[in-house]
């Protein structure tokens, strides 16, 4: 059972997701996306695989979002901003054979953990 988590150690939801994945027995690859940022195409693929819009995957509450004037930005501009400023990427993104999910809510995290346990 393999999983990859796009992780920020200062984010409690990232830490919770990582703990849950490990507790489920997953062999977890941790990608510190703030320093090991996926390229634009990889980020777009992750977002699409999670069933999200690009706008859903951007941290619109970050002051930088407003500073860059991203309210009216299209998907291309948002992706460019997220790659240039990875703090704008919503987290944690978790990728497993069972699927890709933005594991911010307990429900989404539970779905991915159950998917992992179902593959044991």
Fold matches, 1-33+91-120 and 39-89? yes
Residue carrying the six token digits 């409690």: 12
The three-class DSSP label of residue 3 is strand
- Residues marked as catalytic: 11
Q: What is the pLDDT of residue 119?
A: 58
Helix ranges, 1-120 (H): 12-23, 40-49, 63-67, 75-84, 106-117
Model confidence, pTM? 0.91
- Whether the CB-CB separation of 73 and 53 falls below 8 Å is answered with no
The span from the CA of 97 to the CA of 86, in Å, is 25
pLDDT over 90, % of the chain: 81
What pLDDT score does 109 carry? 87
Model confidence at 8, pLDDT cuts 50, 70, 90, reads very high
CB 116 within 8 A of CB 98: yes
Domain boundaries, the chain: 1-33+91-120, 39-89
Tell me the CATH architecture of domain 1-33+91-120.
3-Layer(aba) Sandwich (3.40)
Q: Name the CATH architecture for the domain at 39-89.
A: 3-Layer(aba) Sandwich (3.40)
């Amino acid at each position: 059972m393999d999983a990859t988590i796009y992780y920020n150690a200062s984010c409690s939801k990232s830490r919770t997701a990582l703990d849950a994945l490990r507790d489920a027995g997953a062999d977890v690859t941790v990608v510190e996306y703030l320093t090991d940022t996926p390229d634009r195409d990889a980020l777009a693929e992750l977002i699409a695989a999670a069933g999200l819009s690009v706008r859903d995957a951007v941290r619109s509450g970050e002051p930088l979002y407003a500073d860059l004037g991203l309210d009216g930005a299209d998907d291309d501009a948002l992706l460019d901003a997220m790659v240039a400023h990875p703090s704008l990427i919503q987290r944690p993104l978790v990728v497993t054979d069972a699927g890709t999910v933005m594991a911010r809510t307990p429900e989404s995290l539970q779905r991915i953990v159950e998917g992992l346990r179902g593959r044991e």
